[in-house]
Amino acid sequence: MIKKIALVTGAGSGIGRAAAIELGKEGWSVVLSGRTLKTLKETAELIEVSPTLIIASDIRDPKSVENLFRSTFDHFGQLNLLFNNAGINKSSTPLEEVSFSDWKEVLDTNLTGAFLCLQQAFKIMKMQAPMGGRIINNGSLSAYTPRPFSAAYNTSKHGISGLTKSAALEGRNYNICCGQIDIGNAQSKMTKRMTDGTIQADGSLKQEPTIDVNEVGKAVAYLASLPLDINIPFFTIMANKMPFIGRG
């Protein structure tokens, strides 16, 4: 059986955990990365068949990211998939009131962290034999249509789209595919407020539907299953009745 090695950031909960479980079901050996060892171990216990490797890492720290990918390669000898998933958001805040610390934390995690991981994945995928691999960036519907009072998050996810395009372009000659999954309202701690009421473009509060996070995990596993001569640059999965198409 051909070895398939995947690295999932933010694997301790939510979308990262769901994706890691589905990848395990499909025969991938999964490297589980995140800042909290306890939740990573909980994810590992849910992956019953495939081998896992747990590496606590802070993707905001270049040295921590270097160690994450070096440890992955030292252990498995290859890397076939990076699910660049880790991300955070902050409470709704008018643009002019966003603190510098909140702005920096969101951008450092969602965009710079994703860049640092992608950069290390490129280095491995270009030098390994056979050359190549797949990178899936976790974007958002906010990469296309922003929500109000979410300037830092919206900016970070628009930046992810640019990073995806750059990586897709530069990866072509090295058999590296880079695409983006844009997710609308998957059930997680980050979207819990959706069911209580979310600020709309007209200032009103409205409950929004969510989707089972496990369905998102299945979508990631599907994208991971594609041969490297196929890329889906942008893949959207969302709650059918959420106010996105025609938002605002």
pLDDT digits (tens, 9 = 90+) for 126-178: 999 999 999 999 999 999 988 888 899 999 999 999 999 999 999 999 999 99
What is the third-level CATH fold of 5-238? Rossmann fold (3.40.50)
Distance in angstroms (rounded) separating the CA atoms of residues 44 and 17: 9
What's the pLDDT score for residue 197? 73
Of the candidates 144, 153, 174, 222, the residue annotated as catalytic is 153
User: Given this model, what pLDDT does residue 145 score?
Assistant: 87
Closest CA to 166 of 199, 118, 125, 112: 118
Domain coordinates in residue numbering, the chain: 5-238
153 a catalytic residue: yes
SS3 190: helix
